[in-house]
């Protein structure tokens, strides 16, 4: 009996040691995955600006054998003035982009990112680049008795609304739930971006999504059956983001953006992509 107890204690001890070793290895791996955030001087020394963006027809896309996009063009113009090369990583998830920035995997997020106080403790936003608004994306009304069509926020009750995971629209929908005193089912999609959700609505795979109005307008020709007339949130400034420790990079980006936004070249770029 004593032998059995000793044997059991031995196995418990071994299991405990294994658990500690496993935990240590995982903690070590987590630390290895975290890169120290870089500020402008470190980036200049390396010669490469690491950029996270979203793959879509306004931010960054492949056009034949050419890379293009509004934010892609902007960040490249900034980098050229700084004699930097640009390393682009397209990431569809809002949360993954922000998490990568926090971990030091990227220096800047260069795509439409709502300037929100919800992220103020983890990242820093540049000066606003665009003004946009969250709208309900749905198919156009078929007739006056179309029960699927929504023309007011009150009618969102008991409907399922799809969002890109990590979207700031989640906060607005939560407020609407309180305002109307009813349930709205929110489905956050992790593997798709805004344009994919718009396409899913257009093709009838889902009925509703919340997206930025500028993105919807840019896709009007591709999806003529889409309606984006029902507003979900107020107009909101969109900008880029950097790690909270990258103050010199932020100052440099802001100085360049404030100057470049006054140019004819910026307006031409804006007109081309939006």
Alpha-carbon span 175 to 157, nearest angstrom: 13
Instruction: For residue 244, count other CB atoms closer than 10 A to its CB.
Output: 16
Domains 40-131+237-273 and 133-235 share a fold: yes
pLDDT at 23 over 70: no
Residues 156-181, mean pLDDT to the nearest whole number: 94
Question: For 183-219, how does the pLDDT look when each residue is reduced to its tens digit (9 = 90+)?
Answer: 999 999 988 989 999 999 999 999 999 999 988 988 9
Residue 188, helix vs strand vs coil? strand
For residue 173, with 0-12 CB atoms within 10 Å meaning exposed, 13-18 middle and 19 or more buried, which class applies? buried
CB 163 within 8 A of CB 209: yes
Greater model confidence, 274 or 270:
270
Write out the DSSP string of 49-118: EEEEE--BTTTBEEETTEEE-HHHHHHHHHHHHTT-EEEEEE---HHHHHHHHHHTS-SEEEEEEE--GG
Alpha-carbon span 93 to 83, nearest angstrom: 29
Greater model confidence, 272 or 107:
107
| Tokens (6 digits) for 158 | 């008991």
Q: Where are the domains of the chain?
A: 40-131+237-273, 133-235
Give 83's Cβ-side CA count (13 Å radius). 4
Q: Is the pTM of this model over 0.85?
A: no
Alpha-carbon span 99 to 144, nearest angstrom: 45
CATH topology assigned to domain 133-235: D-Maltodextrin-Binding Protein; domain 2 (3.40.190)
CB 107 within 8 A of CB 250: no
Query: Where does the pLDDT of residue 63 fall: very low under 50, low under 70, confident under 90, or very high at 90 and above?
Result: confident
Confidence (pLDDT) at 33: 58
CATH 3.40.190.10 applies to domain 40-131+237-273: yes
For residue 131, with 0-12 CB atoms within 10 Å meaning exposed, 13-18 middle and 19 or more buried, which class applies? exposed
The region of weakest confidence among 21-25, 33-37, 42-46, 76-80 is 21-25
Confidence (pLDDT) at 34: 67
């Amino acid at each position: 009996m004593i032998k059995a107890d000793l044997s059991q204690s031995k196995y418990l001890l071994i299991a405990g040691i294994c658990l500690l070793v496993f935990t240590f290895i995982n903690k070590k791996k987590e630390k290895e995955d975290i890169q120290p955030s870089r500020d402008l001087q470190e980036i200049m020394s390396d010669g490469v600006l690491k950029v996270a963006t979203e793959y879509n027809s306004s931010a960054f896309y492949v056009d034949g054998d050419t890379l293009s996009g509004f934010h892609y063009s902007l960040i490249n113009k900034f980098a050229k003035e700084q004699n930097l090369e640009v390393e682009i990583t397209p990431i569809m998830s809002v949360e993954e982009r922000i998490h990568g920035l926090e971990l030091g995997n990227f220096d800047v997020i260069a795509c439409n990112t709502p300037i929100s106080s919800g992220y103020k403790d983890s990242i820093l936003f540049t000066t606003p680049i665009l003004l946009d608004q969250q709208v309900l994306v749905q198919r156009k009304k078929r007739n006056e008795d179309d029960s699927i069509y929504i023309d007011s926020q009150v009618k969102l009750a008991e409907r399922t609304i799809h969002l890109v995971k990590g979207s700031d629209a989640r906060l607005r929908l939560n407020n609407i739930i309180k305002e109307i005193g009813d349930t709205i089912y929110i489905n956050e999609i992790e593997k798709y971006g805004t344009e994919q959700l718009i396409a899913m609505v257009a093709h009838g795979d889902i009925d509703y999504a919340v997206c930025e109005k500028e993105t919807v307008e840019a896709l009007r020709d591709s999806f003529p059956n889409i309606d984006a007339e029902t507003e979900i949130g107020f107009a909101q400034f969109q900008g880029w983001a950097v790690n909270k420790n990258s103050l010199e990079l932020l100052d440099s980006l802001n100085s360049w953006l404030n100057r470049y936004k006054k140019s004819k070249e910026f307006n031409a770029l804006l007109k081309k992509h939006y």
